Amino acid sequence: MKVLAAMSGGVDSAVAAARAVDAGWDVTGVHLALSPEPATLRHGSRGCCSREDAGDARRAADVLDIPFYVWDLAERFRADVVEDFVSEYASGRTPNPCLRCNEKIKFSAVLDRALALGFDAVVTGHHARLVDGRLMRSVDPAKDQSYVLAVLAPQQLARAVFPLGDSTKAQVRGEAARRGLSVATKPDSHDICFIADGDTRGFLERRLGGSAGPIVDSATGAVVGSHAGSFGFTIGQRRGLNLDRPAPGGEPRYVLSIQPAANTVVVGPGELLDVDEVAGTRAVWTGGEPARSQLDCLVQMRAHGAVTPASVQVTGRDVVARLHGSQRGIAPGQALVMYDGDTVLGSATITAAGRAA
Amino acid sequence: MPYLDHAATTPVLPEAVAAVTAALGEFGNASALHGSGRLSRRRIEESREQLAEVLGARPSEVIFTAGGTESDNLAVKGIYWARRDEDPRRRRVIASAVEHHAVMDAVEWLAAHEGAQVTWLPVDGTGRVDPAALRAELAADPEAVALVSVMWANNEVGTVQPVAELAAIAHEFGAPIHTDAVQAVGALPVDFAASGADALSLTGHKLGGMYGSGALLLRREQACVPLLHGGGQERDVRSGTLDVPGAVGLATATALAVGRRDELSARMRRLRDDLVDGIRARVPEVLVNGHPTDRLPGIAHLSFPGCEGDSLLMLLDARGVECSTGSACSAGVARPSHVLLAMGAGAERARGSLRFSLGHTSTADDVAAVLDAIEPVVDRARRAGITSAAS
């Protein structure tokens, strides 16, 4: 088998590529250049597309003795991931760019190109398992990435290989060290790779411009503060609101909704964040269309978020999940991922969340 | 292994390996006054004389450097500083739009940090500078010109510039001219005195010498402020303990390359034409970039419509055929070449390009290997399409 190993410069993708080599496959390493201007220096543990990362990926490929190239996908990434991220926030939603990158870049642009160039599959360092073609959680719950892969259709998963799903992160690091890969001790990347300084709100302000507006109390309608732009808030957010007036009872207030058209952010008590009905659209079934329109399954609505039993009604590409119990702070734009135990059934993009009548 | 990337670097000539190895067996600081020092100094001066002789320069005009990039930086920055120091009005730098990054980025740096005003001379569709355009730029304000820099032959598409004509025009207006001849020496007749250039860059590893050894030919009367200060070893223009094996290797390789130039360039031209004809027969839509005749004999720069250059490179590499997409940034990302863009090619044509470059070890088998591979490779690359553009 001829496989393309996507190598970010981190420890996971390096070990994934190494295991592909061990499997006896013909492996070619590719680093995806996603930033329009690759930065020279690493900022803390953030970012995944610096020149240094390209160099780390190259060194790992050297150690594995596999060919290595850099593919410039900066323009595709900008159009499909960064612009989507900005416009989702502008619409008052909270996008997950990693998920979008998997959907549009790694398992679309890169996979399509790889297949056209004669490769059979793309290997990545995601912590997830593929068992008989079904996407499953990693054995390491803390590092499980099945949530951000749940947007992949069966034909995409059929061409994906995740060699790390049976290992914990600690095992992967240990193996990298044994293999002499210098990235063994490299810090994990987190946050958003294209916002190098980690300041998402500053990034959005630069992109969308700040337009001051009111923060309104949900019960009284009174203006209790102001914001420099309704984007950059997330449902359930409590910190950084800078409210002028405390609630009468002194209880904490949270962002309940974001209304971009009115440029208004609504805040209120935490219990109003408790929802038990979540609607989603653009459903994708990782293991194929469900046989029935009613699914009893587990749902997860945030990366590394809580898992709740639910009854899901499927209507075409739309889903409505009735949660058994309530969940707090569900943000439109995030993915609703459905699981049967550890097996991913599919996902949908959350459009609304509320309380059943 | 079919290696068709000699314009990036070419194998060291066995004679140069022998000369360098012998020099490594000797030692002595060429600036020292004892016997060992005198021996090293003798090697340096013999190398200097040999290099001067084969390049039409005087020995005193040879400044040993650590390669083409240093030579270009020294000439561009050093002459700019010297000219501006003589007359503060001289701030204009006129350079061609197709220069190597070693010139281009040095010029950009002068603009960003030293108040230089930059004019990029346009090129035509073949990559040639129009001498009338240089004349017009110089005539506009001759007093303000610090330096002209136009490469002898382009490293990507191979187009040869009319350096002697450009030098004559520059001198009419009292402006000095530098030329980056890194690709030209050994491939074309290069005579420093006859060219009229005031400064000329060359490097060893493009003609069968070692990496990290090059020279700047600098007219004796041309003032140039040093980049590297220290012992003043090279005419006070360049400091640093002299690299005896480097100089010996450079001189040996250059003398051999120049001596064999007629035979070698005729052979390379034949192979190159066979390569281009053969590719055209198999991929009729291929476009040949660069000047049709005034072009380096070993370079074939081709555009494959609908293909991504780095797809082509990767597929050829997998078949053992080594070539280049022409330009890449230091992260290894292929970028549309500024040379092709300056020649008026669209970004897609620029990105769908490959450079095959032949050299002293090239054979008909190398050409045959490319021709064997090219059809299926182009076919596959075309199916993979242009991934870089937004969908």
Question: What is A244-304 written as a DSSP string?
Answer: SS--TT---EEEEEEETTTTEEEEEEGGGGEEEEEEEEEEE-TTSS-SSSEEEEEEE-STT
Give the whole-angstrom CA distance, residue B35 versus residue B55: 30
Q: What is the pLDDT of residue B329?
A: 54
Contact B334 A31 (CB under 8 A): no
How many CB atoms within 10 Å of residue B105? 15
Give the number of beta-carbon pairs within 8 Å between A and B. Answer: 72
| Token output for B373 | 């591979």
**Residue B62: enclosing H or E segment and its boundaries?**
strand B62-65
In this prediction, residue A46 carries a pLDDT of 42
| Closest chain B residue by Cα to residue A50 | B331
Instruction: State the pLDDT at residue A35.
Output: 78
Q: Which residues of A are catalytic?
A: 101, 193
Q: How confident is the model at residue A105 (pLDDT cuts 50, 70, 90)?
A: very high
The catalytic site residues of B sit at: 329
Who has greater pLDDT, A353 or A38? A353
In this structure, are residues B357 and B324 in contact, taking their beta carbons and an 8 Å threshold? yes
Average pLDDT across chain B, whole number: 95
A34-61 burial: b if 16+ Cβ within 10 Å, else e: bbeebeeebeeebbbbbbbbbebbbbbb
- What percent of chain A is predicted at pLDDT more than 70? 96
For residue A72, give the nearest of B314, B385, B388 by CB distance: B388
Least confident of A231-240, B23-32, B76-85, B259-268: A231-240
pLDDT surpassing 90 at residue B358: yes
Size of chain B in residues: 391
pLDDT digits (tens, 9 = 90+) for A75-86: 899 999 999 999
Residue with tokens 């996507």: A6
In this complex, do B314 and A67 lie within 8 Å of one another by their Cβ atoms? yes
In this complex, the residue of A33, A76, A117 whose CB is nearest that of residue B333 is A33
Interchain CB distance below 8 Å, B332 and A70:
yes
**pLDDT class of A40 with cuts at 50, 70, 90:** very low
Q: What are the backbone angles phi and psi of residue B36, rounded to the nearest 5°?
A: -60, -40
- Residue A260: band (very low, low, confident or very high) from pLDDT cuts 50, 70, 90: confident
pLDDT range class, residue B94, cuts 50, 70, 90: very high
- How many Cα neighbours within 13 Å face the side chain of A286? 32
As a whole number, mean pLDDT of residues A317-326 equals: 95
Kindly tell me if the per-residue pLDDT of A185 is higher than 70. Answer: yes
From its phi and psi, is residue A296 left (phi > 0), alpha (psi between -120 and 50) or beta?
Answer: beta
Per-residue model confidence (pLDDT) at position A171: 97
CB contact under 8 A, A58 and B391: no
**From A68, which residue of chain B is nearest by alpha-carbon distance?**
B314
CB contacts of B335 in chain A (<8 Å) are: 72
Could you report the predicted ipTM of this complex, rounded to two decimals? 0.88
B204 is written with which tokens?
A: 């060893």
Predicted pLDDT of residue A249: 77
Residue of B nearest to A51 (CA): B331
User: Can you point out the beta strands (E) in chain A?
Assistant: 2-6, 26-33, 68-72, 121-123, 128-131, 134-137, 160-161, 213-217, 223-227, 253-259, 264-269, 274-284, 294-300, 307-315, 318-328, 335-340, 343-354
Quick one: pLDDT at residue A43? Answer: 42
| A211 pLDDT tier (thresholds 50, 70, 90) | confident
How near does any CA of chain A get to the CA of B337, in Å? 14
pLDDT of A38 higher than 90:
no
> Quick one: which of A303, A304, A282 has its CA closest to A349?
A282
According to DSSP, the residues that pair with A266 across neighbouring strands are A216, A257
Average of per-residue pLDDT values in chain A: 90
Inform me whether the pLDDT recorded for A48 exceeds 50.
no
Rounded average pLDDT over B256-279? 97
CA distance A70 to chain B (A): 6
Nearest to B388 among A38, A55, A73 (CB): A73
Whether the per-residue pLDDT at B228 is higher than 90: the answer is: yes
pLDDT of amino acid A39: 45
CB contact under 8 A, B390 and A113: no
**Closest to B7 in 3D by CA, of B300, B213, B320, B267:** B300
pLDDT digits (tens, 9 = 90+) for B300-333: 999 999 999 999 999 999 999 999 987 655 556 6
Chain A residue numbers touching B314 (CB-CB < 8 A): 28, 67, 69, 117
Mean pLDDT of A257-265: 89
Between B217 and A227, the higher pLDDT residue: B217
**CA of B388 vs chain A CAs: smallest distance (Å):** 5
Residue A309 has pLDDT above 80, yes or no: yes
Does the structure show a pLDDT above 80 at A245?
no
* Minimum Cα–Cα distance from A77: chain B residue: B390
What's residue B128's pLDDT?
98
Closest Cβ opposite residue B331 in set A54, A79, A118: A54
Phi-psi region of B341 (alpha: psi -120 to 50; beta: other; left: phi over 0): alpha
Beta strand B145-149 pairing with B177-180: parallel
Q: Do A76 and B390 touch (CB under 8 A)?
A: yes
Shortest CA gap B333–chain A (Å): 6
Task: State how far residue A26 is from chain B, nearest Cα, in angstroms.
Answer: 11
Q: Let me know the angle formed at the C-alpha of B189 by B187 and B193, rounded to the nearest 5 degrees.
A: 135
Write out chain A residues lying below 8 Å of B318, CB-based. Answer: 28, 67
Quick check: A285 pLDDT over 90? yes
Q: Indicate yes or no: CB of A71 within 8 angstroms of CB of B389.
A: no
- Asked if pLDDT for residue B391 goes beyond 50, the answer is no
Flag whether pLDDT at A335 surpasses 60: yes
Chain A positions touching chain B (beta carbons under 8 Å): 28, 31, 33, 38, 51, 54-55, 58, 67, 69-76, 78-80, 109-110, 112-113, 116-118
